[in-house]
Chain A
Amino acid sequence: MSVMKPKRPVGIIGYGAYVPRFRIRAEEIARVWGGAEDGLPIEEKAVPGLDEDTVTMSIEAARNALARAGIDAKQLRAVWVGSESHPYAVKPSSTIVAEAIGAAGSILAGDWEFACKAGTEALQAAIALVGSEMAEYAMAIGMDTAQGRPGDALEYTAGAGGAAYIVGPAENSLAILEASYSYVTDTPDFFRKQHMHYPEHGNRFTGEPAYFDHVLHGARGLLDGMGLQPSDFAYAIFHQPNVKFPQTVAKKLGFTKEQIAVGMLTNKIGNTYSGAAMIGTTAVLDIAKPGDRILICSFGSGAGSDAFSFIVTEKILERRNKATKTMGYVQRREEIDYALYARYRGKLVMN
């Protein structure tokens, strides 16, 4: 199947990241659950404060994106939040974010869910909305405060954070879209039923048949369809549920450690689920040079992968300094212990 290109060229007009300031070290989780025998999957992860959730975090990322884009919020025709930790099951986070940033009115604002690729699926849709000329600007956000079951392997990595992107016409872009590709199958590697608090997962089933199969299909689908090699890219950002998976898939595809280094944040902020590939990309955009080609390849359990190729333009230079950089958020840290973490994450029985 061929790659996808919109009718008119589009790109990223502005972008913004957000990570909460609290951190818990994987070592500290291991202290409580005794899970350090096989080594720890990451160093530490970000924890949202009591007054934060996917909505508040999206609002800050969106404001950062608007600051860089330099457009009026009222010009947006869509604000789409992709997450697996929307505060409401019914009432879109997107409506609240849209209202908060001053974009409410003539706008689309439904929520997206596709595990860790909800944000990039929203990005595909934003590209389509703008690329079809239905709208001049659309915003896609990938943001999560996903829960990990206490003591489970995923508790070590389930972090919080994400990013917002504003898509607009290529002429105004700091990074122009070349093409995108998406690959999806029904693969039950990781899921959460409607009223359950914590997700279920298939342990090792989440590896080869899920993450690797879909990321490889996604990336190869894009690269082959565009006739490009890994060496044509300055940077590659893969979905990063831990440190090992993206390193392994990068190697399989032929990308080097240097190409993926900047976009790898999981070790310091955890797996930000719908935010992961999105915020890995903002870290790259914060330092990329005009002319750099960037590959983004997300993965969402269920399962699927979205792949994009962007080329950075001159406009990045004046725009990226207009809001807090990704590393500014990553380096802003306040360490907490498991007790405070359990309190902040609502794991204490209060009723």
Chain B
Amino acid sequence: MNLALNWRLRDQRYRLEGTVCNHCGAKYFPPRQVCTDCKSTELTPHEFDGHGEIYSFTTVRQAPLGHEGNIPYIVGIIKLDEGPLVEAQLTDVNPDDVKIGQRVEMVTRKLREYGEEGMVVYGYKFRPVTDER
């Protein structure tokens, strides 16, 4: 059930907390301990806003264990406005309505459950931005 593993990732899963390099300013999600650009180890937490656009997407029809109950679902690569790419499911949208370049925002949803009796893992997904305020 990986209780500790999932718990350790809560800041990333719930609030898109990555890192920023204090030396060169590069931003990373997921967090890194060594900056890829300048090799500095001075990186501190940075919470990403969650807005971005779709870089690519596909529909999973043959799911790995733990996700079979959700097929068909859409997974995508999202380019966050702050720079990094992040992979996640797309939600609140039908496969026919997804387009590369579409604006999306982060929401917190169920990623998976470990069976009926097991832990629920919550984390980020992305949905098309709706402008109704």
Contact = CB atoms under 8 A, between A and B. Distances in A.
Interface in A42-71: 49-53, 55-56, 59-60
B15 A102 contact: yes
B22 interface: no
Interface residues of B, number: 21
B15 A51 contact: no
Main secondary structure of the interface of A (DSSP, over half): loop
Interface stretch (B33-41, B51-59, B125-133): B125-133
B120 interface: yes
A87 interface: yes
Contact of B14 (A100, A324, A331, A350): A100
B127 to A, nearest CB: 9
Contact of B133 (A50, A52, A324): A324
B69 interface: yes
A63 B69 CA distance: 28
Contact of A96 (B94, B107, B116, B122): B122
B14 A49 contact: no
Interface size class of A (residues with CB under 8 A): 20 to 34
Interface in B83-132: 89, 91-92, 94, 107-111, 116, 120, 122, 125, 130, 132
Given A100-B14, A100-B108, A55 B122 contact: yes
A315 to B, nearest CB: 17
Interface string A63-102: 0000000000000000000000001100000001001101
A56 B133 contact: no
B132 A328 contact: yes
B110 A350 contact: no
B15 A100 contact: yes
Contacts of B110: 50-53, 56
B23 interface: no
A59 B108 contact: yes
Given A49-B91, A51-B91, A99-B14, A56 B130 contact: no
B108 A56 contact: yes
B126 to A, nearest CB: 12
B130 A332 contact: yes
Interface in B51-77: 69-70
Interface of A: 21, 49-53, 55-56, 59-60, 87-88, 96, 99-100, 102, 321-325, 328, 331-332, 334, 350-351
Given A324-B132, A324-B133, A332-B132, 6 more contacts: A88-B120, A96-B122, A99-B14, A102-B15, A322-B133, A351-B116
